Amino acid sequence: MTLTPEIRAAALLRRLSTDEKVRQVTSDMYFDVDEHYRERRDPLCGAYRNPGHFMHAGREKPASPAEVTRMINEDVRLSVEAQPHHIPPIENGEALHGAQWGMCTNFPQPIGLASSFDPALVERVADAIGQETAAVGVRQVFAPVVNVSRDCRWGRTVETFGEDVKLCSDMGAAVCRGFAKNGVIATPKHYADNYGAGGRDSNYSETSIRTLRETFLPPFKACFDAGAGSVMAAYNGWDGVPCSANKKLLTEILRGEWGFEGFVVSDYWGVEGLHETHRVAESVPKACAMALKAGLDVILPFNRYEDVKKALELGYLSEEELDKNVLRVLTAKYRLGLFDNPYRDPAAADRLVRNDAHRALALEAARESVVLLKNEGLLPLDRQKVRRVGVYGASARLIPIGANYSGPYGTPWQGDDAPTPLEALKAFLGNDAEVVFGESADIETLAPTCDVNLYFTAITEGEGSDRSDLRLPAVTAKKKSENGGGFIVDENSLEIADDQEQAILRLCERGENVAVILLNGAPVDMTAWVSKPSAVLEAWYPGEQGAKALAEILFGVTNPSGKLPVSIPKSAGQLPLYYSYKPSGRGYAYCDNDGKPLYPFGYGLSYTSFGLSGAACAADEDGFEVSCDITNTGARAGAEVLQLYLGTHGCPVLRPLKELKGYARVALAPGETKRVTLRLTADDLSFYDENMVFGAHDARHTLALGTSSEEIAASFDTRVENGKFIVD
């Protein structure tokens, strides 16, 4: 009879000494992967940050996938041979938009992937990342980030799927499914509410339990339903208790309500933070005990064996309590098959990583991630008429991957066939046109001589880089953030020595046919200049093939189809700003503006046009079906995203004026029509009542069908009454 992972783990647990148990909840990480690595490394920990992440630094040429695989195999072997019961470690790492152990395929940042409104595409991307992760022996990744970004001042907005609960849930679940296909443990983060007022990273959260359940918890639940086997606790505190030791979050909700059977890891130094920053534990041993008792299972990143052992000796933690943590870790290792097959094939890794199919997928994802915000007849450019292209901005000479979680530690990401925008334009146009790069000082002389002028923006953002000013920076020098920023994320080395807003205005004054291409991870304040250029593209950070995609889009080979996963404000003074707000008792405007965004959630233009007609709504015993015909009324093939919003009223609790409940990405040839149906189930119509009971309570609902949160083509009045679904 084949024993289950649970039975095997329980049997092994009974044979372990106390010391061995303590080792399983500890981990370690070594920055210096050199000839002394094996001597320095403690082989008894239960988990390790994979050495592949660090072994490229200082080398003339980055390590190959085969070299990384051999190094990780050796890392695992050292532990298996040293462990009394030969327990293999979990080798972990990052995989936000590409496996980060080395020079792997680099896809668009998550905020760009969300703009595709295409979970099937995102699952394929995650599948490819999972393949490249598992190929070298990394079996747990600290991704996806499913925090809902309701304040774009938060520097880590780039890592998220935006401001909407459903979109974050769908995209997070897609990522987890993709990883799971390859035997890689997804670790959604940061559980559960990772920033405070003003978008300040890891600051104390004032979020109510209602808002937590309505907004911030659903994406995590979706990830667990999709097979995520771990979760990372957030740095900050919620409801008076740090998330790393919050029993309400880690035990009562996560395991008690949701039945989660995986294990919880700390964010780096999160447990030590209970003592050092949160000041709720008088010592690190006490902090370890508080976290483990509350439901956290693995302390990252450094070895805290002595502290956990001390916690046992002092009675802060019992061995019976520790057993629960260890059992969850051992069960995960058996589920992964680590005991039976802990090693990987170096030659296979070399064949797989950054293969042609994965790079083609990176290009496809980049094409779908770009959002056309403004177009006054300039785009697409006519290749037959353009003879000289002026290119400006520091980002034009950088591979557009973004600094955040791109490439291994201490070494910039690099790969063949990954051009900068300037290189991609030159390659695309070949001998048909001259592409000239101009410094800011060259604008007045160069711009008038060009048929088209393209400005690529630059910004410093990411982990440890929250913003209070959303305008394009004028002068930014490389600096260390006061709290160390991203611990294993390289500091953003981009130095901006140009007043970008003024440069854009000067370019529009002196040159014709100006397009601005935004390369960023969160909205920027465009009000000072957005009226001047003829076109604006929101490209986010589109990844290693993003520059190719941008050249195709600018010249009409690809029709842009991305939609905004966040609202773009007119200024920072409007923040926090998101579309799914609840009713006001007075109004929504300021004395100096109407309170509306510059560009709304779900917005995005195309080179063709679309029409919606024949909308209908029907009810059955399970919910509602809303359908309509969508027609490409223009001359180019393109894709539109049909969006269905729900507004609930006539119930005792305040509900958002509108919230996304369904969407469909529809590709259409010129003149083609497709009938599209979106279905709402009882779960989609459910909400927490005044007693915090979740269900499809009696209420009236307005179902609105459109192409953005503000562009609505048809709406229907419906209601739920005594468990029945009715169209009025």
Sorted by where each starts, the structural domains of the chain and their CATH numbers stand as 369-574 (3.40.50.1700), 610-727 (2.60.40.10)
Tokens of 484: 């160390």
| b/e sequence 529-564, b meaning 16+ C-beta within 10 Å | bbeebbbbbbbbbbbbbbbbbbbbbbbeebbbbbbb
Tokens of 265: 């890891």
3-state secondary structure of 516: strand
Cα(174)–Cα(126) distance, rounded to whole angstroms? 8
- Asked if the bond preceding 192 is cis, omega within 30° of 0, the reply is yes
| pLDDT at residue number 165 | 98
Mean pLDDT by 10 residues, the chain (728 residues): 92 98 97 90 96 92 96 97 97 97 97 98 98 98 98 95 98 98 98 94 95 98 98 97 98 98 97 97 98 98 97 98 98 97 97 98 98 98 97 96 90 92 98 96 96 95 89 69 53 71 96 95 96 98 98 98 97 94 91 92 98 97 97 98 97 96 98 98 97 97 98 97 95
The residues, any chain, with a CB within 8 Å of residue 619's CB and separated by 6 or more, are: 625, 718, 725, 726, 727
Query: What does 557-581 look like in DSSP terms, one character per residue?
Result: SS------SS-B-SSGGG-S--SSP
| pLDDT at residue number 480 | 46
| pLDDT at residue number 490 | 56
3-state secondary structure of 700: strand
| pLDDT at residue number 494 | 61
DSSP code at position 589:
-
Whole-prediction pTM: 0.97
| pLDDT at residue number 461 | 86
Helix-helix angle 284-294:319-336, to 10 degrees: 60
